[in-house]
Amino acid sequence: MKKLAPYWVFGLALCLADATLAHDPDEPALELPDVSVVAERPTAASSQQFIPDEEIVLQPQGRPAQVLRLIPGFLAVEHSGGGGKADQYFLRGFDADHGTDVAFFIDGMPINLRSHAHGQGYTDLNFIIPETIEWLDVHKGSYLPEYGDFATAGAVNFRTRDTVREGVIQGAGGEYETQRYLLMFSPTKDRVRSLIAAEGYYTNGPYLHDNQYYRTNLLGKVTTNLTGRDELSLKATFLHSKWDGSGEIPLRTVSAGIRDRFGSMNPYEGGNTLRTTGQLKYHYDTRSGGEWFANAYGQYYRMDLFTDFTFFLNDPINGDGFAQFDRRAVYGGDIGFKQRGTILGMSAIGTVGFQARVDDVHAKLGTQTLRDPTGTTIDSDTLTVSYSPFVKAEVQPLPWIRFAGGVRGEFITFDVSNRCPACMEQPAGRTGSAMVLPKMSMILGPWIRTEFFVNYGEGFHSHDARSVVTIGASPLARARSYEVGVRSRPWGAQGVELSATAWRLDLKSELVFVGDEGTTEIRGATRRQGVEVAARGQVWGPLYINGSFTWTHAEFHNGDAIPLAPEYTAYGAAILQWPEGLTSQLQATYLGVRPLTEDRSIKSPSWVTFDLSERYRVPITLPHGRLEAFLFIQNLFNTEWEQAIFAFTSRLRNEPPSGVNDIHFVPGNPRTVMGGLAWYF
C-alpha cells in the first residue's frame, strides 16, 4: 500500500466537488473520471488488523466464522455438533462462549444479543454471506471510544461491499451430502450502486445422526449520492436455518466403545433460527472538512434450541433435555459529527457521537423430552436500553508522534418481568447503571518504517438482565486494558509487515447468568496477560504469507485457572499465485492445552489441523464472463481433534445417581473435501 496521500489531494478533491456543484446550468458539465486515492490505514494499536477480501474468499465455505482465524490469536469452533448454532469464540485468554467478551458488528450494526436465552452476548454469524464482505476491521482491547458493550477482548466489524465488478453464480458440493449455492450481482453500478446476494447451504455433517442442516441467506443493498457531498446506504438481510445437533459426547462412552466419537447421546438435539435486519447509513461532508454521520438499524430475531448435556442426572426417567426459546426486536443507531483541521498548527481530528440501543426480549427456558415441552423453568420479558455518548480526538503535534483517545459514557437500564405464575422465585424488577470509560493511545514514529504504540483503555460487558435485577448485583463488568507494541515493514511498503504486542487485561468481579440452567453464578476478578507476534504480506513475487503466534496466561486473582482459556494458539498460511491462473493456499491452525477446571486437574489435549484451498481460472473462452473452479480440503491429514470440550458431571441410565465427572466434547471434522464451479459474468 502507498503512503498517506498529502492533504492537497483531499483539498483538490473538495475543490472539484465545489466546482461541479456550482457550475452554470446553461453550460455542459465537466465529466471527470473516477479517481481512487489509496492510502495506508492509520492504526491506533499494534494489534489492530485489516483483513482484505482476497484472504476471506480462500477460506473453506460453509461457516462464516472460519474467517476469524485470519485474526492473530482468534479461534472459533463449533459448539454442539450441528452447525446452526453460534460458534464458540476464543481471544486473548477468553473463552468468550458465544460472544460475551468480543463485540461483533456488520457495517457498524451490533450483532451480539443481550440477555439471550442461551448466553449473554450470543453472536450467530451465519446470517453473513462471506463473499459479500469487503474487509474486516479488527480492534483488540478497549482503546476506541466508538465501541462499547462486549468490546473487552476486542471488536470485529464486517464491512460489506457496495457493488461487485462481476456477478457470480456458484455451485459447490462435497462429502456428507454438502451443497452450497450462491448468486451475487450488482444490477446498477453508477450513481445508484446496488448489491443482491442469495445463498443456500445444506449438509448432513460427518455425524452418524445426520445434521440435516440447511441455511438460506439473502442480502440486498443500495448505495447512492443524493448530492455531490453525501452518501446514503440502505441494506436488508434475511436468515433462516434449521438443524439437528449431535451434541457433546462423554469421553467415557467412546473409550468403552459404547458410542462412536461421531455418535449422539440424544438425537433430538438441534433447533431453528430466523433473523431479519434492516439498516440505513448516511454521511454528509461539509466544505470545511467536517462530516455528519447517522446510522439506524432494526432487527427481528427468533431461535428455538433443544439440548441435553447431563442426560439422566436430574431426571432419571424422562432425561435432562431442555429447550430455550428467544424472540426479540433490536433497534437503535448513532449520530455524530467529525471535524478535520488544525489546532495551534497541529493536524487534528475530533469526533462527537451518540449511540442508543434497545433490546426487547422474550426468553424462555424449560424442560423437554423428544422436543416436547414438559415444564417451564424461567419465562421472562426483558427490556434493556442503553445510551452512549462519546468524544474522540486525534492530534499530531510532531511528525513522529500522534495521540488518539477520548471518553465514552454508558447508561443502561434493565427491566425484567416474570411471565411464569408458577416460577415465583425467578427474578423481576428494574435497575440501571452508569459508567465512564477513558481511552488513550500514543503512536511514535515511523522511524525506518517502524511505529511504536502505547495504549490504555477501559471497556465493559453488560450482564444478563435477569441477573442484574437481583439484590446486590453489579450490572456492568469493567475491564481495564493495557498494551505496548511495535509494527514494522522493514522491506518496504509492499513487503511483509511484522508486529509484536504485549498486553494485560483486568476484568472486575462479575455475575454470569447461566442460560442453560436459569441461574446466576458469581465469579471473581480475573487477570489475563500475554504476547502475540504476527507477520503478513508479500514475501516474494507470487508468495504471500499470514502467520501469528500468541501466548496467554489467564487466572482468577486467587490463582485458580480460568477454565477453557487458551494458553498457546498459532495460525499460519502461505498463498501462492501460480502463473497459469491457479491460486493455492495451505493453512494450519493450532490450539494448545487448556485447563478445563479451576484446579487444573483436567486439561484438554492440543491439536493442529491443516487446510488446503485451490482456485483456478479455467482457460475457456465464454461469450459472456469466465469460469473459475475451486477445491477445499479441510483437515488435510485427517487429524483426530476436538472442537468444543468441557469437564462436568453427567449420568447414563446405568450409572450411580450422583453421576460421573468426565470430559465431554464435540469432535472436529475429519478430512472433508468440497469443490465447485463459479461463473463470473
- In the predicted structure, residue 377 carries a pLDDT above the cut 50: yes
Percent of the chain with pLDDT strictly greater than 70 = 92
pLDDT digits (tens, 9 = 90+) for 453-495: 999 999 999 999 999 998 888 899 999 999 999 999 999 888 9
Rg of the chain in Å (alpha carbons): 26
Report the alpha-carbon distance of residue 438 to residue 404 in Å, rounded. Answer: 11
Which comes out higher in pLDDT, residue 8 or 543? 543
Report the alpha-carbon distance of residue 530 to residue 568 in Å, rounded. Answer: 10
- In the predicted structure, residue 284 carries a pLDDT above the cut 50: yes
Residue 35 binned pLDDT confidence (cut-offs 50, 70, 90): very low
- Residue 57: what pLDDT? 87
Report the alpha-carbon distance of residue 44 to residue 465 in Å, rounded. Answer: 33
Least confident of 5-9, 95-99, 481-485, 676-680: 5-9
Q: Is 597 helix (H, G, I), strand (E, B) or coil?
A: coil
CB 415 within 8 Å of CB 383: yes
CB 249 within 8 Å of CB 265: yes
- List C-alpha distances in Å: 77 to 96, 97, 548: 11, 10, 18
pLDDT digits (tens, 9 = 90+) for 490-517: 998 889 999 999 999 999 876 665 656 6
- In the predicted structure, residue 660 carries a pLDDT above the cut 80: yes
Cis omega before residue 446 (within 30°)?
yes
- Pick from 465, 466, 459: which is nearest to 482 by CA? 459
Residues in the chain: 681
CB 644 within 8 Å of CB 595: no
Retrieve residue 141's grid coordinates.
Answer: 482491547
Report the alpha-carbon distance of residue 356 to residue 334 in Å, rounded. Answer: 6
- Pick from 412, 304, 275: which is nearest to 363 by CA? 304
- Residue 40: what pLDDT? 53
- In the predicted structure, residue 538 carries a pLDDT above the cut 60: yes
Cα atoms found within 13 Å of the Cα of residue 227, Cβ hemisphere only: 12
Retrieve residue 496's grid coordinates.
Answer: 511483509
- Residue 661: what pLDDT? 95
Retrieve residue 536's grid coordinates.
Answer: 503478513
- In the predicted structure, residue 81 carries a pLDDT above the cut 70: yes
CATH fold label, 41-680: Maltoporin; Chain A (2.40.170)
- Residue 513: what pLDDT? 59
- List C-alpha distances in Å: 316 to 311, 321, 364, 365, 658: 8, 11, 23, 20, 11
Q: Label residue 332 left, alpha or beta by phi (over 0 means left) and psi (-120 to 50 means alpha).
A: left
Report the alpha-carbon distance of residue 148 to residue 161 in Å, rounded. Answer: 25
Residue 17 binned pLDDT confidence (cut-offs 50, 70, 90): very low
pLDDT digits (tens, 9 = 90+) for 399-449: 999 999 999 999 999 999 999 988 877 889 999 999 999 999 999 999 999
Q: What angle do CA 403, 293, 388 make, to 5 degrees?
A: 70
Report the alpha-carbon distance of residue 74 to residue 64 in Å, rounded. Answer: 14
CB 102 within 8 Å of CB 155: yes
Report the alpha-carbon distance of residue 387 to residue 356 in Å, rounded. Answer: 5
CB 610 within 8 Å of CB 573: no
Report the alpha-carbon distance of residue 180 to residue 84 in Å, rounded. Answer: 15
CB 272 within 8 Å of CB 310: no
Q: Which residues contact 357 (CB under 8 A, 6 or more apart)?
A: 110, 330, 331, 332, 385, 386, 388
Residue 311 binned pLDDT confidence (cut-offs 50, 70, 90): very high
- Pick from 608, 678, 605, 607: which is nearest to 647 by CA? 605
CB 501 within 8 Å of CB 484: yes
Retrieve residue 162's grid coordinates.
Answer: 457496495
pTM (predicted TM-score) = 0.92
- Residue 494: what pLDDT? 84
**DSSP one-letter code for 212:** -
CB 173 within 8 Å of CB 673: no
Beta strands in 344-371 (DSSP E): 346-369
Q: Strand 346-369 relative to strand 372-398: parallel, antiparallel, unpaired? A: antiparallel
- Pick from 144, 195, 95, 147: which is nearest to 569 by CA? 95
Report the alpha-carbon distance of residue 617 to residue 54 in Å, rounded. Answer: 15
Retrieve residue 599's grid coordinates.
Answer: 484446579
Report the alpha-carbon distance of residue 105 to residue 133 in Å, rounded. Answer: 12
- In the predicted structure, residue 18 carries a pLDDT above the cut 70: no
Q: Is 55 helix (H, G, I), strand (E, B) or coil?
A: helix
H-only helix segments in 411-519: 465-468
Residue 522 binned pLDDT confidence (cut-offs 50, 70, 90): confident
- In the predicted structure, residue 223 carries a pLDDT above the cut 80: yes
Q: Is 8 helix (H, G, I), strand (E, B) or coil?
A: helix
Q: Label residue 514 left, alpha or beta by phi (over 0 means left) and psi (-120 to 50 means alpha).
A: beta
Report the alpha-carbon distance of residue 44 to residue 440 in Å, rounded. Answer: 9
Q: Is 69 helix (H, G, I), strand (E, B) or coil?
A: helix
CB 455 within 8 Å of CB 483: yes
Report the alpha-carbon distance of residue 566 to residue 596 in Å, rounded. Answer: 10
Q: Is 121 helix (H, G, I), strand (E, B) or coil?
A: coil
Residue-averaged pLDDT of the chain: 91
Which comes out higher in pLDDT, residue 306 or 61? 306
User: Can you give the residue ranges of every domain in the chain?
Assistant: 1-40, 41-680
CB 283 within 8 Å of CB 231: yes
pLDDT digits (tens, 9 = 90+) for 158-191: 999 999 999 999 999 999 999 999 999 999 999 9
